[in-house]
Chain A
Amino acid sequence: MNRFVPEPSPEPSPASSSAPPEPSQAPSPAPPEPSQAPSPAPPEPSQAPSPAPPEPSQAPSPAPRAAVGRRALRSLARGVTRVTDAALGPYQTAAVRIGFAATWLLFLLREFPHRQELYGPDGPWSWDLARQLVTDNGAFTVLMWSRSQMWFEAVYALTAAVSLLLLLGWRTRTMSVLFMVGVLSLQNHSVLMGDGGDNVLHLMSLYLVFTRCGQVWSLDARRARRARAVRAHGARAGDAAGPLLWGVLGCVLAAVTVGGRFGTAEWTVPALLWAVWLAQAVWWAAGRRERTWRLRVLLDVVGNVLHNGALLVIMAEACLVYATAGWYKIQGSRWQDGTAVYYPLHLGYFSPWPGLADLLSANGTLVLLVTYGTVLAQVAFPFTLFNRRVKNVLLAAMITEHAAIAVVLGLPFFSLAMITADAVFLPTSFLRCLGGRAARARARLLSRTAARGGRAAPPGRERADGEAGETTGTVRTRA
């Protein structure tokens, strides 16, 4: 391919400029920054814009003050490099992508027999009721584009299909946008059908659009890997599907805009749709010519910055969920007297297994411990992020509790959504291990079916595990 990098180098990985520009020649009296200190911090764009040179309040002498200033500048530069040069947490964002796509897909499949009653134009929350509310609140839903049953069925089916494609990581960015459109369309039509799980999904579908969530564990990653191999042999990697998809969606978007179908929807979502569509064109164009390599690198940086910002928002959102749930509970008398957990277990709507509920609440001390433990864990969770080990312990506890809630309170999809939100905090090593295991299991399965089907070729090394420097971008058609 070598469209813009004729530099011959045996390095297969992208030029990782993770070394920040070091103003090293300055004779600094201070000990050198521990630059090799592993800083596993999440992207903190918040620290970037604070070019806080230390206050010159009452520094004793100019020399140490200058040193402190230099050090602050240097760590600022490191921070900037960190959040501009890489889309952080590739495994975490991929896990979040797969988790939410799977949650929504399974939900749609489970509700297929009830889809009409939940979101259909003649359901209890009818198209006319939905239109009145949407006109009032400006929410975005494509279901308002037509009252017909056909349109509703199409949206439902397409949303399920898009969820599957997002799960697989096919054209991840485009699918994440369509996923958002599907989630918002169905949920905004019938806001009163949802619960906390739907709320999490709603928000995360918006945030996911800004992430590069297909860097690993995706068909995009596999395609990029193959394209690289093809290019390494001097051939051209063609790609027709990407531009075609882009063109079709552009026509739809234009038709909808010209036709005034966005109607009463607030500008946020339509603007986002147009922005992504245009950005993909710019990205594609920048990658075609050698002389635009600077623009291409710049766009890459922009993509990284957006990704890292969205990743921070996703993490903060998860913390806000727990903090809100925890701090409000502290104020409740039932959470104080240690009986709170007993009550949901005995409400008709949340006790699918009354025998199990009775068993769990038979002992007052046990209920007290679970009640206090829940509050403690929820309040503490955001603070444990400062210590990896404590965080991991608490994360395991949270995931276990949500798994229990799925069964005991009959809230499987809520729990799945919450566990997925938790997954953004899982350690990379754990996720890689999980991915490796899944890949090996798949390879075994495939080779078995291949053997049974008489095919000779084993699945080879198309592992789910990602690898350094994978792209999710559309592979260009020509150089």
Chain B
Amino acid sequence: MDAYDEEPNAPRGVQPPPALPEPQTSRSARPAGTHDPQAPDRPAAPHHPTAPAASTAPTAPTAPTAPAEPPRPAGLAALPLPHRIGAVAFLAVVAVAVCTHLGMVFLHVAPPNTVTARHGGAVNEWIYPEFEQNWKLFAPNPLQQDIAVQARAEVRTPDGGRHTTGWYDLSAQDGRAIRGNPLPSHTQQNELRRAWDFFVAAHDGAGRPVGLRGALAEQYLRRIVVLRLERAHAPGPGGTVERVQVRARTTNVPPPKWSREKVSTAPVLRALPWWPVPSAEAEGGVR
């Protein structure tokens, strides 16, 4: 595989700390311990492959360390046989681990198939929680609808009265924050958008929450809405948000001008029931 153009003569580094404890202990070195470090079990002439590399290197590697420092023994060939066997065994373990990991990740990102039907549990066990991934980027089809999440609040005014605010288009607020912004924040680009996706995914067709995630999704969406409404000063001076209602307004993106396709661009509304807002949350509890 020509994958990454390692120059055969590229300078090689040595001896940063290894990441895992070595199963071989120094005890296994003892049988060969009669050798002193100069023993002939080190590689004979250090094969010096740097000639072509040095000519291309703008800075010759020898510069700062010109005075002779004896080379350290390195590499498999420098080791006595028991160590070598240990090293190769370790290599085999790592190779198996690498292959297993890549196989698991492959099965995780692949479509459901015969193997995952049978061993899906093992794959999930390996992947979750830290190796979860999703690369269906704009695939199989890109989203072709603008989903605007809107919200309104029922507010208790300081004089004891109640009133309902108009609808605030929170996604439009995000859109305005993103427009002309070279570095959109995740709070503008991902927060509400993904919260809505999560909410939809964690609720069944009848709008009932599914499991723990359903409950979490509801609280999350409510907290985002409360935060955004407070920021937009929806409760007015002295007012407190008592309940909120969320709805999604879905509009098809109009097809391109050069296309003959006809798509209805009439919005579709999905309104959720009113949710009571805990008082701690309403009074600046979400920041």
Contact = CB atoms under 8 A, between A and B. Distances in A.
A16 B47 contact: yes
B142 interface: yes
Contacts of B238: none
Given A5-B71, A15-B43, A309-B94, A303 B256 contact: no
A46 B96 CA distance: 8
Contact of A283 (B17, B66, B285): B17
Interface stretch (A60-68, A77-85, A153-161, A447-455): A77-85
A17 B44 CA distance: 9
Interface stretch (B113-121, B156-164, B185-193): B185-193
B149 to A, nearest CB: 11
B98 A46 contact: yes
B86 interface: yes
Given A116-B287, A302-B87, A473-B15, A339 B256 contact: yes
A29 interface: no
Contact of B3 (A42, A123, A301): A42
B205 interface: no
Nearest to A287: B15
Interface string A103-138: 000000011001011101011111001001100111
A38 B8 contact: yes
A111 B185 CA distance: 7
Given A344-B138, A467-B61, A295 B4 contact: no
A137 B89 CA distance: 34
A83 B91 contact: yes
Interface string A195-222: 1100100110010011010111000110
Interface string B1-24: 111111110111111111111101
B212 interface: yes
Nearest to B27: A295
Interface string A16-46: 1111110000000000000000111110111
B101 interface: yes
Contacts of B50: 13, 468
B139 A347 contact: no
Contact of A233 (B19, B67, B190, B223): B67
Given A13-B46, A220-B16, A334 B141 contact: yes
Interface of B: 1-8, 10-22, 24-26, 29, 32-33, 37-38, 42-43, 46-50, 53, 56-59, 61-80, 83, 86-88, 90-92, 94-99, 101-102, 105-106, 109, 128-144, 146, 148, 171-172, 174-175, 178-187, 189-191, 193-195, 198, 212-213, 216, 219-220, 223-224, 227, 253-259, 285-287
22 contacts: A5-B72, A13-B46, A16-B47, A81-B75, A92-B6, A114-B187, A124-B195, A140-B129, A209-B19, A229-B67, A232-B69, A276-B19, A306-B18, A306-B19, A306-B94, A317-B105, A347-B143, A352-B182, A386-B2, A391-B3, A429-B5, A461-B63
